[in-house]
Structure 1
Amino acid sequence: MKTIQINKSIIAIILLAIVLPACTASRDFLSDNFEKVKNTHQRIAILPFDVQFSNPANRKPDGRTQRFFSQQEREGSLDTQKELFTYAAKQIEKGRYELAIQDFSKTNKILADNGIRLEDIIFQDKSQLARLLGVDAVIWGQLSITITQQNRYSMMPAYMGNDGVETNVNLYDAASGELLWKTHLTQRPNNRMDTPHHLTNQLLAQVAKHLPYRTK
C-alpha cells in the first residue's frame, strides 16, 4: 500500500510538471483615463503584429535560414492580425462588445496605399496610424515564438525548455496617442501537437475575450 502511494505521488508530480508549462499568465495595464474615453470609441482597427521567430538554439542561421524566418515572420504578422480580428468579431456578434472593428483587409489596403510596410509599423506613431485609418483606436502587438529544434521531438513536454509563444498587446487612443490598455500573455506547449500556430490562437482567443470594452 505504501508503494502505491509513493507511485501516485510521483505520477502527480509528473502530471503537474507537464501541465504547468502550458498555463497562460496575464499581466494587464489599464490607463486611468480609459473610462473617460472608451465611450468615444465607436470603431477600432487591428494592425499587423510584429512577429519574431527565435532561431533554433542548436544551429547558426545561414542566409537561407534568415530568409525563411523573414518570410515566416511576415506571414505570421498578417495571420496574427487576421486571427485576432476573427476572434474579436465573434465576441461582438455575441454582444460582449458594443463597437465595430474595421475589416483587416481594409486596414492593410489603407496602410499599403500610404506606403507603410509591415516592417515600418513598429516605428510608426500609433495614434497617427489610427487617424489615417479613420478609427478611434488601434490595437497593435508583438508576438515572439520560440522553437528549440534540439528538443522539438522530445517525448516529454516538460523538457521543451523555453519553447512557446509570448505576446504583448496594446491599445492606443487616436486622439491623444495614449496607451490605454496593455496585456502580456505567454503560452507553453504541453504536448507535441501544440504547434506555434495552435499556441498563438489560444493566446489570441484570450485577448479577444478580455478587451477592456467588454460589456458582459
Structure 2
Amino acid sequence: MKNFYVPILLFAFLINVNAQTNLYENPEFDDIAKSHRIIAIVPFKTKVKLRPKQMKDMTSEQLDRLEKAEGEGIQTALYSWFLKRKKRGDMKTVDIQDVRTTTAILNKKDINYDNILDYTPQELAQILGVDSVISGDFETNKPMSEGASLALGLLVGFGGATNSALINMSVHNAENGTLLWNYNKKVNGGLGSSSEDLINVLMRKASRRLSYTKN
C-alpha cells in the first residue's frame, strides 16, 4: 500500500512546488454579482515559450497559430469548468454564454484573437450582451489544448510534463468596467496533459473566492 501513495504524493508536490498566487477580490463583488445573470469568457492572449531548438522548426506564422489555438483552448476549458459547477448546483444565479455564441458575436463585429486587446473588457461585455466578462493572458512552455498540441505535434517532437504555466485572469463588470476579481498564479511542475487538467489545478482554490461559485 505504501508504494501506491508515493506517485500521488509526488504529483501533489510537483504541482505545488514554487507556486505563486495573487488573488484580488473587489469588496463589492458579492453584492454586484447578485444582479448578474450571464457571463462570457473570451479567448486568452497566450505566449508559448518554446526552446530555441523547437523555434528553429517553426515559422512566426505557425507560432502565432499555435498561440491562438492555445488561447482558445483555455477559453473552452474555462467554459467547461463553469458548466460543471453549474450542473453541480454551485452556480444557481448565473449562466455562462456558450463560447460558440461568444465567437460568433465577436466575429460579426470583426473582433478576433489578434485585435481583441483593442477593446476594453467593458466594451466586450456590452457587445456580447452579458453582465460580466472573463478575460486574461496565459504563458506556458508547453501547449496544453488539443488543438495547440496537434499543431505542435505536426511541427516539432516534444514530450514530457509541462514545466511551468502562468495565468492572469480577470472578471470585469459590464455596467461600468469595474475590476471585480483578478487571479494571477504561476505553477511549476506536472500539470496534466490537457487544458482541462490545467484549469482544474489553477481554479481549485481560487474558486472559493469567486462570487459566482461561492456556496
Q: What CA distance in whole angstroms lies between the structure 1 residues aligned with 2:194 and 2:85?
A: 23
Kept in 1: contact 2:207–2:214 (CA 8 A): no
The CA deviation at 1:59 is 3.8
- Residues 167-196 of structure 1 deviation map (CA, whole Å, 9 limit, x = unaligned): 011000000101110112233234xx9446
Report the more deviating stretch, 124-133 or 29-38.
29-38
1:86-165 map, 5 Å: 86-98=80-92, 99-147=94-142, 163-165=163-165
Report what 1:169 is aligned to: 169
For 1:112, the aligned partner's letter is N
1:171-210 map, 5 Å: 171-190=171-190, 194-195=192-193, 197=195, 200-203=198-201, 205-206=203-204, 209-210=207-208
Kept in 2: contact 1:172–1:180 (CA 8 A): yes
Residue 70 (str. 1) matches residue 69 (str. 2) = no
Which is greater in Rg? Answer: 1
- Residues 28-70 of structure 1 deviation map (CA, whole Å, 9 limit, x = unaligned): 10112213311111111011111110131x4484583422221
Root mean square deviation, CA, Å: 3.0
Q: What CA distance in whole angstroms lies between the structure 2 residues aligned with 1:200 and 1:109?
A: 26
Kept in 2: contact 1:185–1:203 (CA 8 A): no
* Alignment gaps of 5+ in structure 1: 1-11
The CA deviation at 1:102 is 0.6
Change in 2 beyond 3 A, CA 1:108/1:166:
same
Q: Secondary structure at the match of 1:139?
A: strand
| TM-score, length of structure 2 as denominator length | 0.75
For 1:202, the aligned partner's letter is N
Change in 2 beyond 3 A, CA 1:39/1:19:
closer
Q: What CA distance in whole angstroms lies between the structure 2 residues aligned with 1:198 and 1:144?
A: 16
Kept in 1: contact 2:141–2:165 (CA 8 A): yes
Change in 2 beyond 3 A, CA 1:67/1:140:
same
